[in-house]
Amino acid sequence: MNKTICCAALILLIAAVPLLARAVMSTPILKTSPDEISVTTSFSGFEPESEYRIGIGMVGQPSEKVQLNLLKNDNRVSKSVEAFNQGYTSTWFEVDSVQLQGFRVAGPDLPGSDGRLTLKITLPRDEADRLGKFFIIVAKNYGSDTWYVEDASEVNETHW
């Protein structure tokens, strides 16, 4: 009897693993100079039928001095930068929401299962110092314009 229950539980666990799949990001790589800070990070694990937001978030108003470039498998993606209010961030950053600047990606903009999207962020060092911190985020649309953070990282002045 116990063997049957264990086998059934294992089968359910294996079946549930795809349901737990999330978009993930690599550790951000920072390069600094006296005048500017650049950050590069890659994202993978996208569900092909889903819609995502990828970008840089700040508490308060978005910065006009940030430059963003999105690459799909090392090829530049021609998309306009959009601004979003990303809620549901308190478990990630201890703030309720951030102002996200970035890209909305879905369908053909998403890489295949073995591909990646790469976000390159550049901002003047004095702007980074003024901000004190920013957040790199990938969020997924769970329907009815409800976006939850799938993975994220805080970058703060101790990093530069």
Residue 45 has pLDDT above 70, yes or no: yes
Q: Could you tell me the sign of the dihedral formed by the alpha carbons of 108, 88, 132, 63, in that order? A: positive
Extended strands (E) in 10-158: 24-25, 29-32, 36-44, 51-58, 67-72, 75-76, 82-86, 98-106, 117-124, 133-141, 147-156
Q: What is the mean pLDDT of residues 99-109?
A: 96
pLDDT of 5: 55
Residue 111 has pLDDT above 70, yes or no: yes
Q: What is the mean pLDDT of residues 21-31?
A: 94
Residue 73 has pLDDT above 60, yes or no: yes
Tell me the CATH number of domain 22-159, given options 2.60.40, 1.10.150, 2.60.120, 2.40.50.
Answer: 2.60.40
